[in-house]
């Protein structure tokens, strides 16, 4: 925000500025003209006090449309009012009295046991008497603590009043500064809130009243309002909803059996083909291919690292499981990339479609990875195909998002120039858009591969095999050494693929 000296502004410009301040401020125009003129004399924060903001607190910020500041001061003042409420009518000794009641019940039980022991002459009589004496001392201490807590109401009241005055002063000191910042934004964008709105003030006042009253009542008298202690619900609602979801799963399994069986066969065929290449091929050939790919993609240093990582996998007997893991990862990543890039291109050209697809991607990325296993096992069963599907769902969103982002970042001037020279839509896509978006799309491919590899351990829970099994066994039997070695093997698989896909930096 640029600050200027009003004395250096030409008279007509100064008049226009004063008129703008008046239009923005609404009420108290003269006050804000003087305050803004003072604040514009020097950059940065200039100390002023706004009595209305100090008196109304968060309500003032809400009435002015400064909702983020409204929320902040609402939280702070609510904390102060809670302290005041505790000091005025709070049940401060409640916890200590509850503890005293529990001790008293235990003490009564011990006294009954003492009477029975005296009658029967049991050898445990002395131990019971010592326990009863300790309980009596604890009961006395708990009652004294309750009385002391009840007598500390003035302390809470003083602390609450001190906090409230501090927060009121802070609101008064920051109000004009925040409003001037909003004025600067309003000058360039008239959609920014301006003026003093009675509707906003009413809304802010109702929210403030509700939050303060409910919070203070909950902390001061927790037993008086049970509805505030736990959300009003019924466990049968969750059970009924779960039964409804289960019925939906059963219906889909029955009517979509052919689709899910075909999907399972397709996944298994693709996975078997990749495993034949990686596991069935002699290990020197596979290692040589990986090293050559690393050299061609990233250079000699990446090739040396790849060779060392492959040696680690082979010498510690992780070779076959590592190749199985890479096969599962390769199948999932291949499907994700094959479907994700075309879908990303389609979404980039049709924003309306992306507006529908984006919440689905958010859902896929936000859902915990273990939850993916529930519908996958329900529809496909356990085993490697289920692991491929779960991995594919978890790893697909990045390549779609990055493809959309890359195409959206292609300069419009370049596309307009290509169209001016007669480029067809196909030529524009393959020769202009995709080459310029290549780095971003490849970053999405890289993220998809790494996220897919992150599902290795999770997918092993449903029989996906591979290195994830070793990690799970290490967790089950507390074999820390074996678990670390298997984890490093997964890490090396990820780094090999990352370096090959990323290429030279």
pLDDT in tens, 201-228: 999 999 999 999 999 988 888 877 788 8
Residue 178 pLDDT > 50, yes or no? yes
Q: Residue 452: what pLDDT? A: 81
Residue 282, classed as helix, strand or coil, is: coil
Q: What is the pLDDT of residues 399-422, one digit of tens each?
A: 999 999 999 999 988 888 888 888
Choose among 168, 16, 7, 11: nearest CA to 80: 168
State residue 399's pLDDT score.
92
When pLDDT is averaged across residues 234-251 and rounded to a whole number, the result is 85
Whole-number pLDDT of residue 7: 46
pLDDT at 61: 95
* Structural tokens at position 238: 């969750």
pLDDT tens-place string over residues 350-363: 989 999 999 999 88
CB 90 within 8 A of CB 220: yes
For 293-316, how does the pLDDT look when each residue is reduced to its tens digit (9 = 90+)? 999 888 888 899 999 999 999 999
Whole-number Å distance between alpha carbons of 492 and 498: 10
Contact residues for 464 (Cβ-Cβ < 8 A; gap 6+)? 328, 383, 384, 386, 387, 388, 456
Which residues lie below 8 Å from residue 75, measured CB to CB, with a gap of 6+?
none
Burial class (CB in 10 A: 0-12, 13-18, 19+), 39: buried
CA-to-CA distance for 344 and 362, rounded, in angstroms?
15
pLDDT at 245: 86
Region label for 225, one of left (φ > 0), alpha (ψ between -120 and 50) or beta (otherwise): beta
Specify the pLDDT at position 54: 94
Q: Which residue has the tokens 């501090």?
A: 166
How much of the chain exceeds pLDDT 90, in percent? 27
Q: Which of 72-76, 119-123, 285-289 is predicted least confidently?
A: 119-123
Q: Report the C-alpha gap between 245 and 185 in whole angstroms.
A: 49
Hey, what long-range contacts does 248-255 have (CB within 8 A, 24 or more apart)?
249/375, 249/378, 249/379, 252/379, 253/378, 253/379
Assign 1 a pLDDT band (cuts: 50, 70, 90).
very low
pLDDT at 307: 94
Tens-place pLDDT, residues 185-197: 998 888 889 889 9
Distance of alpha carbon 166 from alpha carbon 83, whole angstroms: 14
pLDDT value for 503: 67
Per-residue pLDDT, averaged over 424-431, amounts to 87
The percent of residues above 70 in pLDDT, for the chain, comes to: 97
Supply the angle between the helices 319-349 and 467-477 in degrees, to the nearest 10. Answer: 110
pLDDT above 90: residue 469: no
- Output the DSSP codes for 28-69: SHHHHHHHHHHHTTSSS------HHHHHHTHHHHHHTT-HHH
Go through the chain and tell me how many residues it has: 505
| Tokens standing for residue 443 | 């970053």
Task: Provide the pLDDT for residue 347.
Answer: 93
What pLDDT is stored for residue 495 in this prediction?
Answer: 83
Q: Which two tokens stand for residue 60?
A: 């003032």
- pLDDT tens, position by position, 52-75: 999 999 999 999 999 999 999 999
CATH of domain 253-502: 1.10.3720.10
Residue 323: pLDDT over 70: yes
Counting Cβ atoms within 10 Å, is residue 418 exposed (0-12), middle (13-18) or buried (19+)?
middle
- Model confidence at 254, in pLDDT bands (50, 70, 90)? confident
Predicted local confidence at residue 498, as pLDDT: 78
Q: Where are the alpha helices (DSSP H) in 299-423?
A: 300-315, 319-349, 351-366, 369-379, 384-408, 412-420
Contacts of 323 (CB under 8 A, 6+ apart): 275, 278, 279, 286
The pLDDT tens digits of the residues spanning 371-400 come to 778 888 888 877 888 888 888 888 889 999
CA nearest 376: which of 362, 357, 365, 391? 391
Q: Is-contact 415 433, C-beta < 8 A? A: yes
Closest by CA to 402, choosing from 433, 359, 367, 447, is 447
Say yes or no to pLDDT of 435 above 70. Answer: yes
Mean per-residue pLDDT, 159-188:
93
Domain layout of the chain by residue ranges: 6-90+155-228, 94-151, 253-502
Query: What is the per-residue burial (b if ≥16 Cβ within 10 Å, else e) of 419-452?
Result: eeeeeeeeebeeebbbebbeebbbbbbbbbbbbb
pLDDT at 10: 53
Average per-residue pLDDT in the chain? 86
């Amino acid at each position: 925000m640029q600050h200027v000296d009003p004395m250096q502004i030409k008279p007509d410009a100064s008049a226009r500025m004063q008129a703008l301040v008046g239009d923005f401020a609404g009420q108290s125009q003269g006050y804000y003209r003087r305050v803004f003129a003072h604040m514009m004399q020097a950059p940065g924060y200039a100390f002023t006090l706004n009595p209305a903001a100090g008196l109304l607190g968060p309500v003032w910020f809400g009435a002015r449309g400064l909702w983020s500041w409204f929320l902040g001061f609402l939280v702070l003042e609510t904390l102060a009012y809670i302290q005041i409420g505790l000091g005025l009518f709070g049940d401060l000794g409640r916890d200590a009295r509850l503890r005293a009641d529990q001790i008293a019940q235990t003490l009564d039980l011990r006294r009954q046991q003492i009477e029975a022991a005296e009658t029967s002459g049991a050898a445990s009589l002395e131990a019971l008497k010592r326990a009863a004496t300790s309980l009596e001392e604890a009961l006395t201490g708990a009652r004294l603590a309750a009385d002391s807590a009840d007598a500390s109401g003035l302390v809470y009241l003083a602390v609450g009043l001190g906090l409230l005055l501090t927060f009121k002063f802070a609101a008064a000191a920051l109000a004009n500064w925040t409003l001037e910042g909003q004025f600067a934004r309003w000058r360039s964008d008239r959609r920014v809130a301006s003026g003093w709105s009675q509707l906003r003030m009413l809304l802010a006042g109702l929210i403030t009243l509700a939050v303060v009253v409910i919070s203070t009542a909950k902390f001061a008298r927790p037993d008086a309002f049970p509805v505030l202690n736990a959300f009003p619900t019924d466990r049968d609602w969750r059970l009924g909803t779960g039964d409804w979801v289960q019925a939906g799963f059963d219906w889909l399994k029955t009517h979509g059996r052919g689709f899910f069986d075909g999907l399972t066969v397709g996944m298994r065929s693709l996975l078997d083909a990749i495993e034949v290449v990686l596991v069935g091929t002699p290990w020197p050939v596979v290692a040589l291919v990986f090293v050559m790919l690393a050299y061609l993609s990233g250079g000699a240093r990446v090739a040396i690292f790849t060779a060392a990582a492959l040696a680690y996998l082979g010498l510690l007997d992780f070779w076959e499981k590592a190749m199985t893991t890479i096969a599962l990862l390769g199948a999932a990543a291949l499907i994700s990339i094959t479907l994700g890039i075309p879908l990303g291109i389609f979404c980039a050209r049709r924003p309306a479609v992306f507006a529908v697809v984006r919440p689905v991607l958010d859902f896929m990325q936000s859902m915990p990875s273990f939850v993916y296993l529930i519908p996958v096992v329900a529809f496909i069963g356990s085993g490697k195909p289920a692991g491929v599907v779960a991995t594919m769902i978890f790893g697909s969103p990045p390549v779609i998002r990055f493809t959309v982002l890359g195409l959206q970042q292609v300069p419009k001037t370049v596309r307009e120039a290509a169209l001016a020279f007669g480029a067809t839509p196909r030529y524009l896509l393959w020769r202009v858009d995709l080459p310029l978006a290549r780095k971003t799309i490849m970053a999405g491919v890289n993220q998809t591969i790494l996220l897919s590899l992150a599902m290795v351990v999770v997918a092993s829970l449903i029989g996906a095999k591979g290195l994830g099994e070793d990690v799970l066994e290490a967790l089950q039997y507390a074999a820390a050494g074996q678990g670390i070695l298997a984890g490093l093997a997964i890490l090396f698989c990820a780094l090999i693929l990352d370096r090959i896909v990323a290429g030279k930096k």
